């Protein structure tokens, strides 16, 4: 049995977009007129992305019937998306797209016009791929990007692809995917493993649980291959005793990606950092 790295992702299944949990009753206001004034064009699930709201507008129920509160009171809240909808305003004859959002502990949720939401992470193509990977890999609920950990992953990835480290086939055009994880005695003579351990040591990345340690992965491959590699490694076992939907809620996740040489082959380099609560060390993480 070998250590299994824990990872991140999101399964958009069984969503109840119209539900509202623990909304502040003192600020909720229902308006039949507002609800009748809009027509639903479509409503769909979407990836999990982190936003802050601007100090304008408000948060509503799915058809705008109930106003839960104004956005001036939630400027410090980090919202996570799971759905979006397009509504047609019968008065203005214009359409608008709203995102369904939840805070970290799911005590507040609702629909906010996307124009009032600002991403917490950069919007470069590499950031977009990293966020997509966080959304998709593992099919797990509760994982989200942490800005500080994303920044650290970017720094490590830049070093990983420098001339200082010589990972096998990191610039070749033949696909020879490698995924390096925590040190395994049997792999110490492997060229990739040696470079990987040097990289971790240079960045003071110590394998383990607790926010001062990390579960890391270095990989090179196509978008599909990277997603599949992480899917195979980052899963929650029902026997671990922590519900799948809450397992990563307290984790700090950072993923950085960048195209490698010979980009026409569609390959990316990736570095992943996942920091998990120290208490998780009491659970058994094994690959049967």
pLDDT in tens, 5-49: 333 322 222 223 333 344 444 467 888 999 999 999 999 888 777
Which one has a higher pLDDT value, 173 or 231?
231
207 lies in a domain? yes
Tell me what the pLDDT averaged over the chain comes to: 75
- Paired with 100 in beta bridges are 83, 111
Mark whether 166 and 265 lie in a shared domain: yes
What is the tally of structural domains in the chain?
Answer: 2
One domain, residues 147 and 279: yes
Q: Say if residue 102 is in the same domain as residue 147.
A: no
105 domain-assigned: yes
Residue 52 has pLDDT above 50, yes or no: yes
Query: Other C-beta atoms within 10 Å of 77: how many?
Result: 16
**Cβ-count burial of 144 within 10 angstroms (0-12 exposed, 13-18 middle, 19+ buried)?**
buried
Clarify whether residues 147 and 265 are in a common domain.
Answer: yes
Nearest alpha carbon to residue 253 among 224, 269, 237, 230:
230
- pLDDT bin (cut points 50, 70, 90) of residue 131 is low
Please work out, in degrees rounded to the nearest 5, the angle formed at the alpha carbon of residue 175 by the alpha carbons of 170 and 179: 65
Of 103, 119, 135, the position where a domain reaches its end is: 119
Which of 18-27, 134-143, 173-182, 279-288 holds the top average pLDDT? 279-288
Q: 140 and 113, same structural domain?
A: no
For the cut 50, the answer to whether the pLDDT of residue 4 exceeds it is no
Q: What is the extent of the structural domain holding 111?
A: 29-119
Indicate whether 223 belongs to any domain. Answer: yes
112 and 138 in a single domain? The answer is no
Q: Nearest CA to 46 among 84, 19, 16, 17?
A: 84
Same domain, residue pair 154 and 97: no
The first and second tokens of residue 178, run together, are 């490698």
- Residue 180's pLDDT is 72
Please check whether residue 21 lies inside any domain of the structure.
no
Neighbours of 74 (CB within 10 A): 21
The contacts found for 207-214 with CB under 8 angstroms, 24 or more apart, are 207/182, 207/183, 208/281, 209/276, 209/277, 209/278, 209/279, 209/280, 209/281, 210/275, 210/276, 210/277, 210/278, 210/281, 211/252, 211/275, 211/277, 211/278, 213/275, 214/273, 214/274, 214/275
| Torsion angles phi and psi, residue 160, rounded to 5 | -55, -35
> Has residue 24 been placed in a domain?
no
**What is the residue whose two structure tokens read 């270095």?**
218
- 137: pLDDT confidence band, cut at 50, 70 and 90? very low
Higher confidence at residue 4 or residue 120? 120
Above 70 in pLDDT, residue 97? yes
| 72, 138: one domain | no
Average pLDDT of span 123-143: 56
Please report whether residue 52 resides in a domain: yes
Residues 53 and 146 in one domain: no
Full-model pTM: 0.57
- The residue behind tokens 């058994």 is 284
Which residue, 119, 141, 164, sits at the end of a domain? 119
End position of a domain, from candidates 119, 138, 155: 119
Q: 279 and 156, same structural domain? A: yes
Q: Would 82 be classed as within a structural domain?
A: yes
**282 and 164 assigned to the same domain:** yes
> CA 126, CA 150: separation in Å to the nearest integer?
11
Question: Is residue 159 within 8 Å of 201, Cβ to Cβ?
Answer: no
pLDDT of residue 68: 94
Q: Are residues 136 and 204 in the same domain?
A: yes
Q: Is position 228 within any domain?
A: yes
């Amino acid at each position: 049995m070998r250590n299994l790295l824990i990872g991140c992702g999101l399964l958009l299944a069984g969503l109840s977009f119209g539900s509202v949990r623990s909304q502040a009753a003192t600020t909720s206001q229902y308006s039949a007129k507002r609800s009748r004034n809009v027509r639903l064009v479509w409503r769909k699930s979407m990836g999990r992305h982190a936003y802050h709201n601007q100090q304008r507008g408000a948060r509503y129920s799915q058809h705008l019937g109930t106003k839960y509160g104004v956005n001036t009171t939630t400027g410090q809240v980090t919202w996570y998306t799971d759905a979006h909808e397009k509504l047609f305003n019968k008065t203005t004859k214009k359409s608008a797209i709203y995102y369904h959002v939840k805070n970290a502990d799911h005590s507040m949720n609702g629909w906010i016009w996307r124009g009032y939401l600002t991403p917490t992470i950069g919007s470069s193509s590499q950031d977009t791929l990293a966020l997509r990977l966080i959304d998709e890999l593992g099919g797990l609920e509760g994982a989200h990007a942490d800005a500080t950990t994303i920044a650290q992953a970017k720094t490590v990835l830049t070093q990983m692809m420098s001339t200082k480290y010589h990972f096998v086939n990191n610039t070749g055009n033949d696909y020879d995917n490698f995924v390096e994880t925590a040190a395994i005695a049997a792999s110490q003579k492997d060229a990739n493993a040696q470079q990987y351990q040097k990289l971790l040591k240079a960045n003071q990345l110590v394998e383990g649980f607790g926010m001062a340690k990390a579960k890391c992965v270095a990989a090179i491959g196509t978008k599909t291959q990277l997603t599949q590699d992480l899917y195979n490694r980052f899963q929650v076992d029902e026997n671990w005793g922590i519900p799948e939907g809450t397992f990563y809620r307290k984790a700090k996740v950072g993923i950085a990606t960048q195209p490698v040489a010979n980009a026409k082959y569609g390959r990316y380099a990736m570095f992943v950092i996942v920091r998990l609560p120290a208490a998780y060390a009491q659970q058994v993480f094994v690959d049967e």
